[in-house]
Homo-oligomer: A and B are copies of this chain.
Amino acid sequence: MEHGSLAERFGRYLPLFESERRALSALGETERHVARGAVLRREQAPAREMFVVRRGWLFSSMLLPEGNRQILCLHLPGDLAADTSLPWGNAPFSLTAATDAIVCVVEKTALRDLFVQHPRLGMLMLALAQAERVALADRLASVGRTAARSRVAALIVDAYCRLRLAGEPVVDGFVLPLTQEEIGDATGLTSVHVNRMMRQLVEEQLIARVGGRIRILDEARLVALGHHVDRMAEIDTSWLCAPAEA
């Protein structure tokens, strides 16, 4: 099983049968490389496929008429991206590469066979979509109801925990491949204020920054400050089990 595949992702949450594993592998055959800064898909553009991130970071964003941008979601290796475009012919968000990245392409229509032949995987997809929805709600609460410093902290811990969960090496810090302007667009702040808040986090000894890398110095306080809850780490799939086959 390749790194950053759907099978690997789903297997995190549910022991898979060999047939299920094969069905998932069959979904994403073609790979695509995207350069840092490239827009893999623009808002409103036709959207017939979703993506699984194999390498690199992407983000989903929305442009408001005044030119403001809201970054809605970061996509790290192993994550599904653009699956939100399922209910529409055209994409609701833009999908941009924050670093050079590799994704594999999954046709929306391929889900038909998956749902018919492996209902359990269909339910798992639904459960994971709901989990992402709750994670998005966490961000809404962060932006709507916490101070600037907390929002920046939340973004940093979130990235940190997800990288760790995905098995990336993070003990000596990790690269946060976002400009302060992008962090601002994700947290509802200006880049200037993001800068102030990050240096404040450094000053308070919650994080350290060395050459583009961020090291977490006090995870507990950072988690408390950002009100971090790791939704994806505690998913319960027991209710959907009544295995379809042996």
Contacts and interface: CB of A to CB of B under 8 A. Distances in A.
A205 interface: no
B136 A133 contact: yes
A32 interface: no
Contacts of A70: 137, 140-141, 144-145
Given A92-B134, A129-B133, A139-B140, A146 B64 contact: yes
Contacts of A140: 70, 72, 136, 139-140, 143
Interface of A: 48, 60, 62, 64-65, 68-70, 72-73, 83-89, 92-93, 108-109, 111-112, 115-116, 119-120, 122-123, 125-134, 136-141, 143-146, 185, 187-188, 224, 227, 231, 234-237, 239-240, 242, 244
26 contacts: A62-B141, A64-B146, A65-B224, A68-B145, A68-B146, A70-B144, A70-B145, A84-B137, A86-B127, A87-B130, A87-B235, A88-B235, A88-B236, A92-B134, A111-B240, A112-B123, A115-B115, A115-B119, A115-B123, A119-B119, A122-B123, A133-B133, A139-B140, A143-B188, A144-B188, A145-B185
